[in-house]
Amino acid sequence: MTERKVKAIENHAGGTSLQGEGIELMRLLTIKQGLKFERMGMKLTRGPKMTTILRKQYGLKGNRDKLEAQLDQMIEDCKARCDQQNAEAEAQQAEREGLVH
């Protein structure tokens, strides 16, 4: 029996569920929003700045502009992985339902 594939981001009548790459994508998007807030003088959390999180947890280097550019690239890569995860889950679902022979 093969492992059941799940969509990265799936919308339901009751809300949205995130799994796998979808969780990482949402985290990166939250950090991006935090960087925008910090540029305006606000803080997203009481914890460390978003630039500190990017440097420590993701190993990125550079000033704020370079960090934002690297973050944008990470987001695009993560979106591509989410699309791939969704496509695999849909293909497996179709195969289980007998739509693909």
DSSP state of 3: P
Is residue 40 assigned to a domain?
A: yes
Flag whether the pTM goes above 0.85. Answer: no
Q: Crossing angle of helices 64-96/21-39, nearest 10°? A: 150
Which pLDDT does position 95 carry in this prediction?
84
* Under 8 Å between Cβ of 73 and 58: no
Q: How many Cα atoms sit within 13 Å of 22 on the Cβ side?
A: 14
Is residue 16 assigned to a domain?
A: no
Does the pLDDT at position 86 exceed 60? Answer: yes
Determine what percent of the chain is predicted with pLDDT higher than 70.
95
| Distance, CA of 54 to CA of 71 (rounded, Å) | 8
Is residue 88 assigned to a domain?
A: yes
- For the stretch 24-62, pLDDT in tens is 999 999 999 999 999 999 988 888 999 999 999 999 999
Is residue 10 assigned to a domain?
A: no
Is residue 34 assigned to a domain?
A: yes
Which pLDDT does position 93 carry in this prediction?
84
Does the pLDDT at position 80 exceed 90? Answer: yes
The number of folded domains in the chain is 1
Range of the domain at 40: 21-96
**DSSP helix/strand/coil, 63:** coil
Is residue 49 assigned to a domain?
A: yes
Judged by average pLDDT, the poorest of 5-9, 69-73, 86-90 is: 5-9
Is residue 68 assigned to a domain?
A: yes
Is residue 72 assigned to a domain?
A: yes
